[in-house]
Amino acid sequence: MIDAVGLHKAYRLNKHRVRALNGVDLRVEPGEIYGVVGQSGAGKSTLLRSVNLLERPDAGTVTVDDQELTALRGARLRAARRGIGMVHQHFALLSSRTVAGNVGFPLEVAGVDRARRRARVGELLELVGLGDKARAYPSQLSGGQKQRVGIARALASAPKVLLSDEATSALDPATTESILALLGRLRDELGLTILLITHEMDVIKRICDSAAIMENGEFRESGRVLDLIGTPGSLLARSLFPIPEGGGPDTVVVTYPRSFDEPLMSELTRRFDVDANIRGGGVERVAGQSVGRLSVDVRGARRAEALTFLSERGLLVEEAGK
């Protein structure tokens, strides 16, 4: 649905050349929620703005829904942008307009007549659970409500793609949760494709099917979240499951890249007569699966056999002490 190839973008900032994008390739499949994480200044924001050409990349092409946006300018680019919704960190609502006026804005710009606009705005507000707030002004709403208005507005022209620029970063944890749930539901109900950028690992964990870790204008790693977690040395796994650093010569890091029903650790100690001492770790739901990562000291004569057993069962075993 979104295909970006070889994106480069450099800025001049206080006489320094900053490479915001340094050869980024991004592919988002239809119906997927794709999250890009990274520190501020990593280039996430520039990447997101390149997708709807709010920033034109110096090199590379962007194709959304089989239309090459980088080849468009003027009126045709504006028309293409109407097929891509965008949600903003600070909501970006017009303070001079009511909720209904804000949600109807993209329709007004697209020349939709008043009666059809009103009907569509009503639908959209119901969809995001704000049916009773049509006449309120943004200043009368909470942060979560404002973002719901932002989402309703982004969906007004029935886009296939939604871009989310740190949509939950200005919200408290409970509100973040409800907004993420809403995005997930909209993806399911409307078949949306969502590209989001965030600096919160939690967002990736909650709703993303695929993810990329960005640093200095490049993707350090990217792919399906569960695949990444199951990849040796994965930065994403390390960021999602912080575990105690270091460890002794016997320490291994065991990753469960999917849900396991069998009690593997107790089976391990029984069958191979090893001691398994869990130093730390966690189990979380990621992309609908129960995924875990543990730091374990495994000691005993049959240690190597035991580790092989775990690997054969589909766990990822990495020696941490070496």
Partner 1 sequence: MIDSALSLASTTEPTGAWNALVAFVRDWPQMWPNLWLATMDTVYMVWWATVFSVLFGLPLGVLLVATDRGGLTPAPAVRAVLGAIVNIGRSLPFIVLMVAVLSLTRFLVGTTLGPTAAIVPLSIGAIPFFARLVETAVREVDREVVEAAHAMGTRKLTIVGKVLLPEALPGLIAGLVMTVVTLISYSAMAGAIGGGGLGDLAIREGYQRFNDHYLWATVILLIVIVQAVQSLGDLVVRRLSRR
> Which residues contribute to the site for partner 1 (CB under 8 A)?
52, 54, 77-82, 84, 86, 88-90, 92-97, 105-106, 108-110, 137-139, 153, 157, 163
The encoded tokens of residue 104 equal 């109807």
Cα dihedral angle (12, 13, 17, 22), rounded to 10 degrees? -90
Nearer to partner 1, 154 or 294 (CB): 154
* Nearest distance, CB of residue 140 and partner 1, angstroms: 9
* Nearest distance, CB of residue 78 and partner 1, angstroms: 4
* Nearest distance, CB of residue 248 and partner 1, angstroms: 51
* Nearest distance, CB of residue 176 and partner 1, angstroms: 19
Nearer to partner 1, 89 or 222 (CB): 89
Nearer to partner 1, 114 or 285 (CB): 114
Bin 207: left if φ > 0, else alpha if -120 < ψ < 50, else beta.
Answer: alpha
Nearer to partner 1, 76 or 270 (CB): 76
* Nearest distance, CB of residue 95 and partner 1, angstroms: 5
Nearer to partner 1, 166 or 209 (CB): 166
* Nearest distance, CB of residue 206 and partner 1, angstroms: 24
Nearer to partner 1, 110 or 181 (CB): 110
